[in-house]
Structure 1
Amino acid sequence: MPATTEDIGRRNAIPILYTRGTHYEVGFDVGRTFRGIIEDFLGSFSELRESLLPAYETEEGRAAYDATLKNLEENYPQYVREIQGTADGAKVPFHHLMLLHMDQIVPMNSGQERSAGTNGCSSICCNHEGQVLLGHTEDALPQTLNHIYLVSAHINEEEPQGRMKTKTEGFTALCYAGHLPGFCMGYNHHGLVFSVNVISPKKVLAGKTPRHFLCRSLLSAENMVEAQTILRDRGVGSADGFSINMSFTRQEGDHLFHNAEVGPAEEGEESPMSVLTISPGEHLLHTNKYLRLQIPEDEGLCMASSEHRHARAGDCCPPETRTALLALLSDTHDTEYPFFREGGDPDFVKTVTLGVFDLEEKTWTLWMKNPRTADPILTLPLVFKWTN
């Protein structure tokens, strides 16, 4: 009898697709190539079946979906086409994939409480001599385990696309099955390297820009000015909360990291944002709570786990080297809320992969199992385009 999603264990494998074309064509190739993984994920993902689809069928839920989609079709039509391509290639309903990208927007506006199972993630920016590193655990709901892949894409359009008026994009990114690239960790051909931490504000807004789309747009950024423009999203603003840990490796002078905390645009048409720069000789741990923005947050799993992880980090060696960084991200000392998560009780979230960007060596190393007991599955070179 074939193994099911629940009993195949943590696989030590990750597929990668190299693709080139328009946004729709790249999306179609992603869907066609990973159709089995996407279908399996949609079939097993309880959040979709038990929360998102039922909410979509309500009057309020459908209104929230339609208002958000209308905004996206006006401001980010190329990424809507990208999702349409993935849906067509995988032969799954478009609205199923779009609901994944709206995350909590539809349930929140149909009278439901925010899910306690929002994804996690820990990121460490290490900016020390000879040790310029961005480490990240990609933490997600249990059904996401073994349902991820890498996409390396070159996108070319004849006309400028969306709010940022881009015609060409080049990037390599880790993706959840059926999701746009950019929501986990990755880099682009301009030299931007970044990771994402989900944050759970109490209020999420329909008709604004889902964080998935802002993170996807970030893969087009050429510099810090553009990155901040994308995240502020003037004229609309973010629907939800998240933080970005990033470095523009092409810039002259010292290596710098930036942590941008972004909140929902509740009081206007621009995302609230706080940016912190991590200079040489400094490091930063960011999990799933605001460290600077004063925005009310949900008191669920994200907050409890984040507080435990920060407390544990205070007891460990500072992440000033690759060894110390890996030791912290793979730590399981806190049995309730560890850094490397295996879906226990009460923390049912799982770490689906762990990655380290080395900006000195220009490499990206990935582990599918805990680095304390397993070797990395691969090390990719960071291939940047250095011409204008």
Structure 2
Amino acid sequence: MTSMEEMQFNMAYRQSPSLPVLCTTGTHYDVGYNTGVTFSNNIRQYVNSSKRICEKIKPYYDTQEGRELYDIFLKATEDSYPQYCRELKGISDGSGVPFEMLFLLNISPEIRRHLERDTTPKVEADGCSDIFLNGPNLKLLVHNEDCDPLVKQYGYMLNTKIDDVEGKERFLAFCYPGIFPGPAFAVNGDGLVITIDGLYPKHVTLGAPPRYFVNRSLMRMTDIDSAEKLARNAGHGMAFGFCANISSIRNTEESWVLEIAPGHPNAGTQIHTIEEGTELDPNYYFRCNSYKHSTVEEATYHSSTHRMIRAQELPAPKSLHDILNILGDTHHGLYPIFRTPRETDRSETVLTVSMNILNKTMNLYQGNPKYKPYPFLSLPLELDKDII
């Protein structure tokens, strides 16, 4: 089979809703290697097909400034997260994609912001939308995964148990090709459910580890306090920004929003607690890609502003059906909540995921959930910590 035939075969295979799930155990390197071997074609095709990688990330790496930035981030990452560098080396060895290329993928948010540091962005950044609904009998965290459209074709799930010198990890996570678990959505063995919204500070903190590595570290959290500690990453901090939306299937009364801002030697953190409402008036909280509880100088992206405005115009949801109607809203012609690629916006809502905290289920939707409100895949939120 030629490379073109191989690409056409894989594209045909993924046209209908589908999502491969890899179950694997071992050390960080083992799990990385098994991921690389299993999804080598997905990773290679993504690296070779993505315009933002081919037209921005790779050419920048070939400049002196790009190499210097790469070296700065590599040193900061090796100092803070040597286990995840081993994991990335495993993905590289398993997939045959050079380590340098994979590391570039995992520092791509910092590279893009650094390249745009003195300009107003012309095209929207990746970014997701989230809704919490917290009542006595209904507790939901629902998330639109907005990212590079190619992720719909080449993304995958990782169901893993890691036992290494740094300790044990257990999680189920959605992954972008060649990028660590953590930047999208996941649940871990301690019953912590997490979805991520990218945030876009105006400046990158050089000398601190990249955002995706901090995302990856949150797979180890055991409660909201440990999540904040991991995000602060004392002594090292973080180069960029994101928001972690967190619920617990074991401590169901409250949910939390953890905003993280760049900083060195500590990242800035701010926790907002979403209390339980009443049965008739559950607590509703919508967020997307701007800081709500922290004071941070941000880059301006219109999509986040318009999604927030539109969500405020719509009636507060009382059910999952209502939430899916909001997350599927396409009212705004340029910057809708449910995103599809256009001249002003490079992102697509590749998946919607509903975390039902009381029923302990994760339901995944592909296509607009307002019109396709039935999941194509359901997975448990309660993971056995001893077996996969």
Q: Normalization by structure 2: what TM-score? A: 0.90
The residue number in structure 1 matching 2:73 is 68
Offset at residue 348 of structure 1 (A)? 2.9
Structure 2 gap segments, 5+ residues each: 278-282
The residue number in structure 1 matching 2:376 is 377
The residue number in structure 2 matching 1:298 is 299
Offset at residue 6 of structure 1 (A)? 12
Q: Distance in 2 between matches of 1:244 and 1:93?
A: 30
**CA offsets 1:296-316 (integer angstroms, 9 cap, x no match):** 1112xxx21111111111221
The residue number in structure 2 matching 1:183 is 183
Offset at residue 108 of structure 1 (A)? 5.2
| 1:332 aligned counterpart, secondary structure | coil
Matches within 5 A, 1:1-388: 2=5, 4=8, 11-106=16-111, 116-157=123-164, 159=165, 161=166, 167-251=167-251, 254-265=252-263, 268-281=264-277, 282-299=283-300, 303-374=301-372, 375-385=374-384
Offset at residue 211 of structure 1 (A)? 1.2
Q: Distance in 2 between matches of 1:378 and 1:367?
A: 7
Offset at residue 138 of structure 1 (A)? 0.5
Offset at residue 85 of structure 1 (A)? 0.7
CA contact (8 A) 2:124 2:303 kept: no
Q: Distance in 1 between matches of 2:79 and 2:347?
A: 35
| 1:236 aligned partner, one-letter code | H
**CA offsets 1:112-153 (integer angstroms, 9 cap, x no match):** 767644211001111113210010000012333312110000
Residue range with higher mean Cα deviation, 143-152 or 171-180: 143-152
Q: Distance in 1 between matches of 2:43 and 2:329?
A: 30
Q: Distance in 2 between matches of 1:56 and 1:275?
A: 36
Q: Distance in 1 between matches of 2:15 and 2:297?
A: 35
**CA offsets 1:361-385 (integer angstroms, 9 cap, x no match):** 0000001211233331111111235
Structure 1 gap segments, 5+ residues each: 162-166
| 1:154 aligned counterpart, secondary structure | strand
Q: Distance in 2 between matches of 1:219 and 1:59?
A: 34
The residue number in structure 2 matching 1:164 is none
**CA offsets 1:328-354 (integer angstroms, 9 cap, x no match):** 111112222112112124223101111
| 2:108 aligned partner, one-letter code | D
Q: Distance in 1 between matches of 2:351 and 2:210?
A: 24
Q: Distance in 2 between matches of 1:113 and 1:365?
A: 41
| 2:364 aligned partner, one-letter code | L
Judging changes above 3 Å, is the alpha-carbon distance between structure 1 residues 330 and 6 closer, same or farther for their aligned structure 2 residues? farther
The number of equivalent residue pairs is 373
Q: Distance in 2 between matches of 1:38 and 1:138?
A: 19
Judging changes above 3 Å, is the alpha-carbon distance between structure 1 residues 326 and 110 closer, same or farther for their aligned structure 2 residues? closer
Q: Normalization by structure 1: what TM-score? A: 0.90
Judging changes above 3 Å, is the alpha-carbon distance between structure 1 residues 207 and 5 closer, same or farther for their aligned structure 2 residues? farther
Q: Distance in 2 between matches of 1:278 and 1:312?
A: 21
Which 4+ stretches in 1 moved above 3 angstroms?
1-11, 106-117, 384-387
Q: Distance in 1 between matches of 2:116 and 2:9?
A: 31
Q: Distance in 2 between matches of 1:29 and 1:309?
A: 38
| 1:261 aligned partner, one-letter code | E
Percent of paired sites with the same residue: 33
| 2:100 aligned partner, one-letter code | H
Offset at residue 222 of structure 1 (A)? 1.1
